[in-house]
Structure 1
Amino acid sequence: MMTVCDSEDLRPGQRKLVFVDGRSIVLFNIEGTLHAIDNACPHNGASLASGQLDGCMLRCPAHGLRFDVRTGCMPGPSGLRVATFNVHAVDGKLAIDID
């Protein structure tokens, strides 16, 4: 696990871009539940950090593809998937499992 920020830095409704071992990762706090996904869209590598979030569905700002931040999957049978990471709150800090 890699510590990435203080728990206070990610309140419900917020997102945060962090860098871990050369990877760009976006953390989300959706109604108190923490999620983390790779910041690169699997379609063309566009940054997902500024995408529109509707519930747990994140829209890629480049071409509009949608990904569920809980699973990393697109709705439907397309097969495109963004990497997800487990997030843990430990002693007032947030940590991500990179493996």
Structure 2
Amino acid sequence: MSRRIPVGNIEDLLPGQRKLVFVDGRSIVLFNIEGTLHAIDNSCPHNGASLASGQLDGCMLRCPAHGLRFDVRTGCMPGPGGLSVGTFLVQAVDGKLELDVEEPSPASAPAPMCKA
């Protein structure tokens, strides 16, 4: 089951900006790419490096530690298979940013592999 968490105001995330938020002990990066909002886990599945400062090229985010690239829309690496980061629905509602977060499960599973 998911719940909606307020994480700021829309003015905090203008086009071209990113914002780091902490929800339930998780670090999550929000992006505004040409007016479309995206949110991903701030931890690279390869070695746990922070993705927040990674280089963004369109919708592709490069991990600053080892250069792995992830599509912030899907969380997947380009090409068939590969690692993925968790994604979240983020939206602007009445000028506020709201993030949909799944309730934690007893045994947290790693992000699934992306399919070809």
Query: Partners of 1:11 and 1:88 in 2: how far apart?
Result: 13
Counterpart check, 1:21 vs 2:47:
no
Normalised to the residue count of structure 2, the TM-score between the two structures is 0.84
Q: Name the aligned partner's letter for residue 77 of structure 2.
A: M
Deviation at 1:78, TM superposition (A): 3.5
16-25 or 77-86, larger mean C-alpha shift: 77-86
Q: In structure 1, how many angstroms separate the alpha carbons of the residues matched to 2:82 and 2:60?
A: 16
What is the deviation of 1:9? 0.4
Q: Secondary structure at the match of 1:89?
A: strand
CA distance in 1 between partners of 2:56 and 2:91 (Å): 21
Q: Which runs of 4+ in 1 moved over 2 A?
A: none
Matched residues, percent identical?
83
SS across alignment from 1:2 = strand
The Cα RMSD (Å) is 0.6
SS for the counterpart of 1:97 is strand
**What corresponds to 2:10 in structure 1?**
7
Mapped pair 1:58 → 2:61: yes
For normalisation by structure 1, the TM-score amounts to: 0.98
Unpaired runs of 5+ residues, structure 2, are 103-116
Which deviates more from structure 2 when the two are superposed, residues 75-84 or residues 26-35? 75-84
Q: Which has more radius of gyration?
A: 2
Q: How far apart, CA to CA, are the structure 2 residues paired with 1:10 and 1:76?
A: 29
- The correspondence of residues 11-90 of structure 1 with structure 2, limited to 5 A, is 11-90=14-93
Could you tell me how far apart the structure 2 residues matched to 1:24 and 1:70 are?
Answer: 17
Report the Cα distance in structure 2 between the residues aligned to 1:66 and 1:88, rounded to whole angstroms. 24
Deviation at 1:5, TM superposition (A): 0.6
Equivalent pairs, count: 99
Q: Secondary structure at the match of 2:53?
A: coil
3-state SS of 1:88 partner? strand
Residues 54-78 of structure 1: CA distance to partner in whole angstroms, max 9, x if unpaired? 0000000000000000000000124
